[in-house]
Amino acid sequence: MLRSIDPTTGETIRDYPEATPAAIGAALDLAERAFHAWRRESFETRAAVLRRVAARLRERAADDAIMMAREMGKPVAQGRAEVEKCAWTCEFFAEHAAWMLTSQEAPSDASRSYVAFQPLGVILAVMPWNFPFWQVFRFAAPALMAGNACVLKHSSNVSGCSLAIEAVFREAGLPKGLFTTLLVPGSAVEPIIEMPQIRAVTLTGSAPAGSAVAAVAGGVLKKTVLELGGSDPYVVLEDADLDFAAETCAASRLINAGQSCIAAKRFIVVEPVLEAFTERFVATMRAKRWGNPLEEGADAPDLGPMARHDLRDELHRQVEASVGRGARLLLGGRVPEGPGAFYPPTVLDQVRPGMPVYGEETFGPVAAVIAARDEADAIRHANDTPFGLGAAVFTRDLARGERIALTEFEAGACFVNGLVRSDPRLPFGGVKESGYGRELGTFGIREFVNVKTVWVA
């Protein structure tokens, strides 16, 4: 059984029976048959379905936001915003997929030669709980517009969300079998990857999970796209607008209660402004409210509980171990009494290499402030990580910031005077242990296509 537990109360929401091997095989057979019909549909036909999906998402937004709040603790206002982003992404790819996948002339010794982009088949998506709708739609919208079929293995604690997503596609009229949710545990992923109906795999999750999936998929020669962990650095230079930087850094650190691969995690500040920035940053973090994610209006919290108690406990271990090695606790850092997987906004400074909050991914509302002598030292700290998902720099000199973003940061998404975020118009993904391949944008929709050369004598 797969169990959904409310992280606010610790109470069981529902138990879900696991799909049997026979049911899995039947679902994959149906997906493969549906793909062969869907791949021949026009972009206009596919786009009409995706636009209906967007409309249905908006109609269901309130209920689905409550589902997210109950299953993984996201405040309902943030849940509605997540659903809206999914709807926008469906509309974006409905409008632009045709030109993104337009055949390209490629002159050669033939009378005509060109490159075509054609769908691969049934794509397996292994998705995490932290953005239970967005993670799925940022894969599914471009994959479906490219002509593929989608099979979802979602995180076990958000099974209700995974079934709700399947219902959205069904209610919008997507042909049966083109989007299927499989309620299975993580142990079932390997045999599913190996099944002949699956043509490629995309995973968002931890580096160990990505490595395991890549090894299995590589063994059967199936393509993978991996969006893995991150320990994003935000560099604050001496000419930054410190009030703006502190507000933006706090917003990034606390988005989704800090449970985001691209949430800012390490704040690297040059010494001339270290004290002034830290004072502003701590004050901003202290002002953020945490509480019941179902509350709205004046009582609405900025962050809800963490998704699970074990995740909260691991985060607290990282904080305590870092303090034990010399980090200074400026804010938070204590497990609240009472029910729920809550953890308060937390700030540590005097953070140095060798501490967990310096070198590990901290998946929760914990910020590490790191002192740097100057720009060069700040960049050294920023790149001193096995991860490479996102990075940001704050400076009033935009040319300086762009140079650092373009030539110095080792990351897939580099921002100047802004928090790192995903956008359907732009490719998204990382380097190093943050994975490979891209989602979203033209590069994302072309990940799961056959780039076919056509040569005519």
Tokens, residue 83: 């659903």
Q: Residues 345, 315: contact at Cβ < 8 Å? A: no
Residue 248: HSE in the Cβ half-sphere, 13 Å Cα cutoff: 23
Q: Residues 287, 297: contact at Cβ < 8 Å? A: no
Distance, CA of 329 to CA of 312 (rounded, Å): 17
For the question of residue 227 being annotated catalytic, the response is yes
Distance, CA of 293 to CA of 69 (rounded, Å): 6
In three-state secondary structure terms, 20 is coil
- 32, 71, 82, 227: the catalytic one is 227
Q: Residues 443, 424: contact at Cβ < 8 Å? A: no
Q: What angle do CA 441, 447, 452 make, to 5 degrees?
A: 115
User: Helix and strand tally (H, E) in the chain?
Assistant: 14, 18
Q: What angle do CA 447, 176, 156 make, to 5 degrees?
A: 70
Give the type of residue at 356.
P
For the question of residue 261 being annotated catalytic, the response is yes
Strand 328-331 and strand 346-349: the pairing is antiparallel
Residues paired with residue 370 on neighbouring β-strands, in sequence order: 268
Q: Among 245, 244, 264, 266, which residue's Cα sits nearest to residue 253?
A: 264
- 90, 150, 161, 261: the catalytic one is 261
Distance, CA of 43 to CA of 442 (rounded, Å): 15
Distance, CA of 16 to CA of 212 (rounded, Å): 25
Tokens, residue 350: 């005097």
Q: What angle do CA 71, 72, 74 make, to 5 degrees?
A: 115
Distance, CA of 449 to CA of 452 (rounded, Å): 9
Catalytic residues: 227, 261
